[in-house]
Each structure stands twice: as structure tokens, then as C-alpha cells.
Amino acid sequence: MLKKISVFFERFILVEEETVDPQHALNLAIAAILIEMGRIDNQFDESERAKLNTILNQQYGISDDEISELTSLAEEELSDAVDYYQFTSLINQNFGRTEKVAMIEQLWNIAYSDGKIDSHEEHFLRKIADLLFVPHSEFIKAKLRIVKD
């Protein structure tokens, strides 16, 4: 993803094998993608921030301090040259289809938290869904579940 977020992420996965918490590394990969969803349209408003924090705290156990640091790092750099492979590959290794679809739904939830879906948000979501091998039909169903509520 962004260079500084990658360095932050690597601090948690590139330490001695016996001290790595694989679940925490996975949660941070998820957090990085969810945070990028919030800021992808360059308008990371309070509704998106609140939805993001709720999902990261309740679903993935990411601490407020880690959320704050990751969010700050993501907002520092607004580069279009982004690589999500290191994050999505970890998710692919650990998530089944149901969990991946749930994550896509969470991304839609963040994107739609301000009441609209920007074209940048939809493009990002399509890219992540493709990297996670989520079928297009599931991608659309997830969107409709969020937009209808």
C-alpha cells in the first residue's frame, strides 16, 4: 500500500517467528485496507471514521492507538502508485469465501457511511474484490445489502 503503512505493517510480521501473532498481523492487513477505503476519495469524514473505528475495534480487535497511527500514516501520503498485494495475499491465505465477502461488505459499509458512493470508492472496492477473488455477483450482493439498509 503506502510506503509508511507498509513499514508499520512489517514491524508486526517481520519479527522473529516465535513472537509473531498471525491473527494480529492479519487484523492489521485488514485494517490497512479498511483505512484506505475511508480515505480513497480524499474526504475522510467523521461518519466514515466512526464506521471504520467501530468495525476495527469490534470485528478485529485493533486498538485505538493502532487505528490512530495507521490512519495518520495513510493520510500523510496520497499516492496513486499503491500496492495492496502484501495485505490481500495475507487475507487470501487466512480467509474463506464467506469471510472475504463479509470484508467486502464492511468496505461497502465504510464507503456508504456518508450516504453516497464515490467512483473512486467503487473502483477501489472492485480492485480489492478482484484481489480477494470475490465473485462479481457477491460483490454486487454485498453492495445491495448495505445500500438498502
Q: Can you give the pLDDT at residue 74? A: 61
Stated pTM of the model: 0.79
Task: Please state the domain count of the chain.
Answer: 1
CATH code for position 92 = 1.10.3680.10
Distance of alpha carbon 149 from alpha carbon 131, whole angstroms: 26
Host domain of residue 82: 3-148
Q: Which pLDDT value is given to residue 11? A: 62
The Cβ of residue 49 has, within 10 Å, a number of other Cβ atoms equal to 17
Q: Which residues of 96-128 are buried (b: 16+ CB within 10 A; e: fewer)?
A: eeeebbebbbbbbbbbbbbeebeeebbebbeeb
Q: Please calculate the CA angle 37-40-46 and round it to the nearest 5 degrees.
A: 70
3-state secondary structure 70-97: HHHHHHHCCCCCCCCHHHHHHHHHHCCH
* pLDDT tens track, the chain, 149 positions: 456 666 666 665 555 445 557 777 788 788 888 888 888 887 778 888 899 899 989 988 888 888 887 777 665 544 444 578 878 998 999 999 999 999 999 999 999 988 889 899 999 999 999 999 999 999 999 999 999 86
pLDDT, position 1: 47
What pLDDT does residue 14 have? 54
| pLDDT score for 32 | 82
**Torsion sign (Cα): 54, 55, 60, 62:** negative
